[in-house]
Structure 1
Amino acid sequence: MNIPQQAATSTAVRRGARKSICGPTLAEIRTWPATISIPQAATALGCSKSHLHEAIKRDESPVKTIPFGSRRVVITADLIRLLSGEDREAS
């Protein structure tokens, strides 16, 4: 069976896009520095950076953030805790 060139190209583009959407593995995240940017954390969580920014502003973020200069950063250990299914310690 011969696939039309346009269909083959569309499939290749979709496959390439799908691959770029995939986030990092938990093993890869465990090698990250102690804090990471909000866009990097959003990629790991599988959401947009604007969605995570909005959750942080509403104080509904699933991960802990700390101020760092004029921006906020995500604590990697808390991201790992969330993604591995561990409970947050009571404060």
Structure 2
Amino acid sequence: MEATALRGYRHLPLEDVMPAAALALPTLDEVRNWPATVDVRRAALALGISRSQLYALIQRDEAPIRVLDFGAKRVVTASLVRLLEAV
């Protein structure tokens, strides 16, 4: 089944809407070089899950990473690195 983008690009393959580099999972070394906190979208990419899945985990207090809430949720990069190192 071909991945397709939703909102306005329903018939285009996702790769045509978003560059392949943006879809690639970051390496552990790349994550280690991220700022002290990152947004949920970026953390979800590193975990290989969708942004909405990570938000659901955060809402249920089941996220395996440390999340700060300053109005907008921020993920502590060090907790993300620890989780990825354990995998």
TM range (shorter): 0.7 to 0.9
Determine whether 1:56 maps to 2:58. yes
In the alignment, structure 1 segments of 5+ residues that lack a partner are 1-12, 87-91
- Percent identical among aligned pairs is 43
- Kindly report the root-mean-square deviation, in angstroms, between the aligned alpha carbons of the 2 structures: 2.1
TM-score by length of 1: 0.70
In the alignment, structure 2 segments of 5+ residues that lack a partner are 1-14
**Counterpart amino acid of 1:76?**
T
Runs ≥4 residues deviating over 6 A: none
TM-score by length of 2: 0.73
Question: 1:22: Cα distance to partner?
Answer: 2.2
Structure showing greater radius of gyration is: 1
C-alpha distance in 1 between matches for 2:58 and 2:27: 23
Task: Name whichever structure is richer in helix by fraction.
Answer: 1
Aligned partner of 1:40 in structure 2 is 42
